[in-house]
Homo-oligomer: A and B are copies of this chain.
Amino acid sequence: MPDDGLTSVDAVALRRFLDGDNALVRAHVRAVLARPEFAKPAAAPPTDRYREQVTERARTLAATGGPALLFPPEFGGLGRVGAAITAFETLAHSDLSLLVKCGVQFGLFGGAVHHLGTRKHHEAYLAKIASLELPGCFAMSETGHGSNVQRVETTATWDGDAGGFVIETPSESARKDYIGNAARDGRMAAVFCQLLVGEISRGVHALLVPIRGEDGSPANGVEIADCGEKLGLNGVDNGRLAFHGVRVDRDALLDRYAEVTEDGEYRSPIENENRRFFTMLGTLVQGRVSVGGAAISATKSALTIAIRHGARRRQFGPPDSDSELALLDFRVHQRRLLPPLAMTYALHFAQHGVVAELDRIFGSLGEGEDEAERDRRELETRAAGLKAIATWHATETIQTCREACGGAGYMSQNRLGELKADTDVFTTFEGDNTILLQLVAKSLLTGYRGEFEELGPVATAGFVASQAWETVVERSAGRELIQRLTDDLVPGRERDQDLLDREYQLGLFRWREEHVLSGAARRLRRGLGNGADPFAVFNDCQDHVLVAARAHVHREILESFCQAVDRTDDDALVDVLDRLCDLYALSELERERAWFQEHGRISSTRAKMVTRTVNDLCAELRPHAEELVDAFGIPDALLAAPIALPGGEASRTSSADLGDELPDVRAILEEVGEKVPS
C-alpha cells in the first residue's frame, strides 16, 4: 500500500466538484423530486395505475419548466441543452419509468420535431410538447427492424391529387413496435417511413401522424396495441402501431433535410440517400447522450446502496470475539465494489465532456447548422461509444451491487431489483450496444470521413478497407506517437515505470487503441485484397473491430478523467481523484492484461503487479468509500432503500417545508444572472 494514504475525503467539496457547471440545475431537480408529489409508493402499483401516476408526474415536471430547457427560446424554450441533459441525469435517481416517459416525450418526440422539422413545426408544436399538452411518440423501430432502421418497411406515399401523404403498414413485421407513449397517452407520432414520391423511393423520412383523437380513441386507420408487461419500466406505455391508408397533409413531413413541393417534386440539400439518413439520425444524438447519463446515475444509486450496506453490515469475525467485521473490510468485497466505483467516477467525467460538447454544438444557438460536420460526427461517435460502455457498466455494476447486498438486495424495498430491471433495456434501446460499437469503429477506421455513411452497412467494409490503413496509421501524429510509445513501453524498460504514473497509463491506453485499430485495418485490407466476399471479411473482423472500439472509448474516458483532475487546484480533491483515476486505469489494465502480454507491452511480472496494485488501491480507498458515494449527492428521499439509510428510513421533504409552489427552473437561471426568455 502506498505510504501517503489519504487521510480524509470531503464529501461536500467533492460533490460540488462533481456537480460542476450545472450545480444549480441539479439542486433544483433534487429539490423537486424530494417533494411529496414524487413520493415512492410502498409497493409498485398495478400497471394501469403506474402508467397513470407516471403521466401525472411527467406533467408536474413539465410545470417546473425543466423540459423547456431543451428547446429554442423563440418557441417558448430556454435553449439550454446541456442543462437539460444534466436535469435528465439527476431525474434518473428517481423512478426510471418517469425518466423514460420524459425522455420519449421531450427528448425523442420533441427532438424529432425540433431537429428534423422546420419553423412551421416548431411554432405549432414545441411549446405544446414541452408542456405535455401534446403527448407524442417517436415511431422508428419496427417488429422486424430494431437495429437496421434504414430498412423499415412502413411507407409514406405522396398523393399528388390529394396534396398529401398516405401512411401504410405493409406487413406484420412493419408494425412500429415497443413505441413509448403509444399504448395509452400519445396523440401524435413522428413516424419513420420509406418515402415514395412518384414511384421513386427516397429512403427513410419522418412524418407527424396524429394517432389519437381528442377523446383518446385511435385515429381513423390507426391500429394501436399494447406491448403488455415488460421486464421493467412498466410505468411506460409501450405500444405497437399499424397504419392502414392513413392520410396526412404535406406539412406532416418533417422537412429540414428534404421536402416535397406542392407540385410533387422531391428536394433535399443532401443528395446521397445514405448520407441523408445518417445526417437525420445524427441530429438525434441527444437521446444517446441522455441514456448514457441516466445509466451512470442509476449506477451511482446502486453503488450508494451497496457501499453503505457494505460499510454497515457485519458478518464473520475473529472466533474469540463478539465483534464481526464490516463486509467492506474483506478484500473480495472491496474488489467487487471499489473498481466499479472508480469507473463510475471516470464515466461521470467522460459524460460531462460529452454533454459540454453537445451543449456547444446544439446549445443555446439552437441549431448548430454552422458547425463543422466533422465536429458533429466526432460527437456522435463519442456519444455512441460512451452510451455503450456506460450502459453495460450499469448492468454489470447493479448486478454486482445486488449480489453484494445478499438477501436484503433481493427485497424490492431496497431498490436494486427495480434498478436492474429498469436499466436493463438501456443496453438495447437508443442503439444496440454492439451496433453502436461497430459504428464507433467505422468512424475511427475512416477518420470521421462521411463517405462511409453513403454505403450500406456491409459495403462499408470495402470502403473501410480502402481508407483504413492510411487513416489510422498515417494520421497526422500517428506514426510519431506509435514510435514514441514503442520506445517507452517495451517491457525491458518497464522497471523504470511507475504503474501510478499517469503518462505511463495513458501511453498504454493509447498504444492499445492505435495497435488494435491498425490491426483491424490491416485485416480488412488483406481480406478484401484477396477478393473475398466483403461480408465474410467484415464478419471475420467483427470481434477485432469491437475490441478497437472499446479500446478507443476507454482511452477517451481516461483522458476525460485526467482533464477533470486538471480542472481543480484543491489539493485534497486532486489527491482523492488521483487515486480513483489510478484505480480506474489499473482495473482496466488488469482486465486487458492478457492482451497487453500478448502484444509484448507488459511483462508477466508487471501484469501480476497490476493486480497487486489494484488490491492496494482498494484498501487505500476503503476507509473513504462512504464519502465517495455521499459525494454523488443522491437525496435519501430518492435513494429510498432502507439498507442504505440511517435508521432505515428516508425523510421526505414535506410540502410545508418548501411552500406550496413547485420550484420553477426559470428562477434558478435568474438566480445566476442568466437572461431568461419570457
A-side residues, CB < 8 A to B, are 43-44, 46, 141, 145-148, 151, 177-178, 227-232, 315-320, 324-325, 329-332, 335, 395, 399, 402-403, 406-407, 409-413, 416-418, 420-421, 424-425, 427-429, 432-434, 455-459, 534-535, 539-540, 542-543, 546, 593-594, 597-600, 604, 607-608, 615
- Taking CB atoms, residues of chain B closer than 8 Å to A599 are 604
The answer for the CA separation of A598 and B526 in the assembled complex, in Å, is: 32
Copies of this chain present in the complex amount to 2
Residue of B nearest to A145 (CB): B315
Q: Do residues A331 and B594 form an inter-chain contact, with CB atoms below 8 A?
A: no
The answer for the CA separation of A141 and B411 in the assembled complex, in Å, is: 15
Apart from A148-B316, A317-B535, 15 more pairs, CB < 8 Å: A148-B315, A178-B411, A229-B412, A230-B411, A231-B410, A231-B411, A317-B458, A318-B459, A331-B540, A332-B434, A335-B543, A407-B429, A593-B594, A594-B594, A594-B597
Q: Do residues B458 and A318 form an inter-chain contact, with CB atoms below 8 A?
A: yes
Residue of B nearest to A143 (CB): B408
Q: How far is the CB of A326 from chain B (nearest CB, A)?
A: 12
Q: Which of A425, A433, A459 has the most CB of B within 10 A?
A: A425
Q: Do residues B319 and A459 form an inter-chain contact, with CB atoms below 8 A?
A: yes
CB contact under 8 A between A228 and B411, given known A315-B148, A402-B424, A594-B597: yes
Residue of B nearest to A412 (CB): B229
The answer for the CA separation of A421 and B229 in the assembled complex, in Å, is: 14
The answer for the CA separation of A432 and B407 in the assembled complex, in Å, is: 9
- Taking CB atoms, residues of chain B closer than 8 Å to A147 are 315-316, 406
Q: Do residues B406 and A319 form an inter-chain contact, with CB atoms below 8 A?
A: no
- Taking CB atoms, residues of chain B closer than 8 Å to A434 are 332
Residue of B nearest to A604 (CB): B598
Q: How far is the CB of A625 from chain B (nearest CB, A)?
A: 16
Q: Do residues B543 and A406 form an inter-chain contact, with CB atoms below 8 A?
A: no
Residue of B nearest to A590 (CB): B594
Q: Which of A44, A427, A540, A598 has the most CB of B within 10 A?
A: A598
- Taking CB atoms, residues of chain B closer than 8 Å to A598 are 593, 597, 604, 607-608
A-B contact pairs, 6 of them (CB 8 A): A231-B418, A317-B458, A399-B399, A410-B424, A420-B420, A598-B608
Q: Which of A324, A399, A410 has the most CB of B within 10 A?
A: A410
The 4 A-B residue pairs with the shortest CB-CB distance in the complex, in nearest-first order: A319-B456, A231-B417, A594-B594, A229-B412
- Taking CB atoms, residues of chain B closer than 8 Å to A600 are 604
- Taking CB atoms, residues of chain B closer than 8 Å to A316 are 147-148, 457-458
- Taking CB atoms, residues of chain B closer than 8 Å to A319 are 455-459
- Taking CB atoms, residues of chain B closer than 8 Å to A231 are 402, 409-412, 416-418, 420-421
- Taking CB atoms, residues of chain B closer than 8 Å to A230 are 410-412, 417
Q: Return the contact of A542 from the options B330, B412, B420 (Cβ within 8 A).
A: B330
Q: How far is the CB of A291 from chain B (nearest CB, A)?
A: 14
Q: Do residues A146 and B593 form an inter-chain contact, with CB atoms below 8 A?
A: no
Q: Which of A44, A147, A320 has the most CB of B within 10 A?
A: A147
Q: Do residues B228 and A43 form an inter-chain contact, with CB atoms below 8 A?
A: yes
Residue of B nearest to A596 (CB): B594
Q: Return the contact of A229 from the options B44, B228, B593, B615 (Cβ within 8 A).
A: B44
Q: Do residues B44 and A146 form an inter-chain contact, with CB atoms below 8 A?
A: no
- Taking CB atoms, residues of chain B closer than 8 Å to A329 are 539
Q: Return the contact of A406 from the options B325, B332, B409, B432 (Cβ within 8 A).
A: B432
Q: Do residues B399 and A542 form an inter-chain contact, with CB atoms below 8 A?
A: no
- Taking CB atoms, residues of chain B closer than 8 Å to A413 are 228-229
Q: Do residues A227 and B411 form an inter-chain contact, with CB atoms below 8 A?
A: yes
Q: Do residues A406 and B146 form an inter-chain contact, with CB atoms below 8 A?
A: yes
Q: Do residues A141 and B416 form an inter-chain contact, with CB atoms below 8 A?
A: no
- Taking CB atoms, residues of chain B closer than 8 Å to A425 are 407, 410
Q: Do residues B395 and A399 form an inter-chain contact, with CB atoms below 8 A?
A: yes
Q: Return the contact of A597 from the options B46, B424, B604 (Cβ within 8 A).
A: B604
The answer for the CA separation of A542 and B540 in the assembled complex, in Å, is: 40
Residue of B nearest to A414 (CB): B231
The answer for the CA separation of A230 and B427 in the assembled complex, in Å, is: 24
Q: How far is the CB of A308 from chain B (nearest CB, A)?
A: 17
Residue of B nearest to A460 (CB): B319
CB contact under 8 A between A539 and B330, given known A231-B416, A316-B458, A399-B395: yes
Residue of B nearest to A177 (CB): B407
Q: Return the contact of A324 from the options B44, B148, B412 (Cβ within 8 A).
A: B148
- Taking CB atoms, residues of chain B closer than 8 Å to A406 are 146-147, 428, 432
The answer for the CA separation of A145 and B315 in the assembled complex, in Å, is: 7
CB contact under 8 A between A228 and B407, given known A316-B457, A597-B598, A604-B597: no
The answer for the CA separation of A395 and B420 in the assembled complex, in Å, is: 12
Q: How far is the CB of A616 from chain B (nearest CB, A)?
A: 11
Q: Do residues B458 and A229 form an inter-chain contact, with CB atoms below 8 A?
A: no
Q: How far is the CB of A540 from chain B (nearest CB, A)?
A: 7
Q: Return the contact of A543 from the options B412, B458, B546, B615 (Cβ within 8 A).
A: B615
- Taking CB atoms, residues of chain B closer than 8 Å to A332 are 434, 542-543, 546
- Taking CB atoms, residues of chain B closer than 8 Å to A317 are 458, 535
Q: How far is the CB of A319 from chain B (nearest CB, A)?
A: 3
CB contact under 8 A between A421 and B424, given known A151-B324, A598-B607: no
The answer for the CA separation of A78 and B416 in the assembled complex, in Å, is: 42
- Taking CB atoms, residues of chain B closer than 8 Å to A44 are 229
Residue of B nearest to A173 (CB): B314
Q: Do residues B535 and A325 form an inter-chain contact, with CB atoms below 8 A?
A: yes
Q: Which of A147, A329, A407 has the most CB of B within 10 A?
A: A407
Q: Do residues A43 and B420 form an inter-chain contact, with CB atoms below 8 A?
A: no
Residue of B nearest to A227 (CB): B411
- Taking CB atoms, residues of chain B closer than 8 Å to A148 are 315-316, 324
